[in-house]
Amino acid sequence: MQIAHAGRKGSTRRPWEGTGMVAEREGGWKPVAPSALPFDKNYAIPSALEESGIRAVVNAFAEAARRALQAGFQVLEIHAAHGYLIHEFLSPLANKRTDSYGGSLENRARFLREVVSAIRRVWPATLPLFVRISATDWIEGGWNIHESVKVAAEIGRLGVDLIDCSSGGIDPSAKIPIGPGYQVPFSQQIRDKTGLLTGAVGFIRLPEQANEIVRDHKADVVVFAREFLRRPYWPLEVARDLGIRVPWPAQYLRAAPDGTPARQTVLASC
């Protein structure tokens, strides 16, 4: 389960319906952020959170984690990337505060540390906690990989088990060199310098490519999204092609190749 707060990107249209803000008269709301700076010209000007508001959001993250646990989820990820609220606090491009949540790296990372600590008080130590970060803003003067390494080490000591390494999202003007595996160097650098487990994402489409990333210790896991949208049974197809026997989800067993619902391990034959 991934939990997030959209921050200044909240109250916006669904991507397939255009871009920009949804007015309050249309069911939208006044978004909040570390500073009263909009994401783009067609986005709402957010309200800068007061410290009481920050505490309320920290508590809301912890409550979301508690509900996820109650619902039976066994892996939790805090979304601190892509220009959402936690990333807005981390990045000097979006955070212009002059209090204890702005300015220095220690202060800008305070909100994330507080969220992690609050969640770890309700999320069992026996269950993994991931944090997705944008390892760089891809903009001079913005959040960068060196700060990511430092903060990853800090939250690792607070109980984070894996850093899910993405990038960008804080500013629409960023020039991102998108290509196959373009974010993998971030996962490798954070892994090498902190000793934490990392996840690699971003235009990783081939099983051979994913295998190479894990085999060469560039990351500990590879996280897929787009390929699942294209081909929901992709993991089973890959297992079939590689001759690997994998357990099917229990709900799929009625479609087992030999027609035996009780069979727990079958060769994918999609």
CATH of domain 2-230: 3.20.20.70
Read off the pLDDT of each residue in 111-121 and give the average, rounded to a whole number: 98
* 89-99 pLDDT per residue, tens: 999 999 999 99
Query: Which are the contacts of 208, defined by CB distance < 8 A and separation ≥ 6?
Result: none
* pLDDT band for position 259 (cuts 50, 70, 90): low
Catalytic residue among 84, 101, 233, 252: 84
Phi, psi of 255 (to 5 degrees): -100, 20
What Å distances lie between residue 80 and 3, 151, 214, 252, 253, CA to CA? Answer: 9, 12, 23, 33, 36
d(C-alpha 158, C-alpha 109), whole Å: 13
Active site annotation includes 252: no
**Which stretch of DSSP H or E encloses residue 151?**
helix 145-157
Q: What is the pLDDT of residue 255?
A: 73
Q: What is the pLDDT of residue 168?
A: 98
Dihedral through CA 88, CA 92, CA 94, CA 96, nearest 10? 120
Domain coordinates of the chain in residue numbers?
2-230, 233-270
Q: What is the mean pLDDT of the chain?
A: 92
Q: What is the pLDDT of residue 257?
A: 63
Q: What is the pTM of this model?
A: 0.91
* pLDDT band for position 260 (cuts 50, 70, 90): low
d(C-alpha 30, C-alpha 13), whole Å: 14
Q: What is the pLDDT of residue 262?
A: 44
110 phi-psi bin (left φ>0, alpha ψ -120 to 50, beta other): alpha
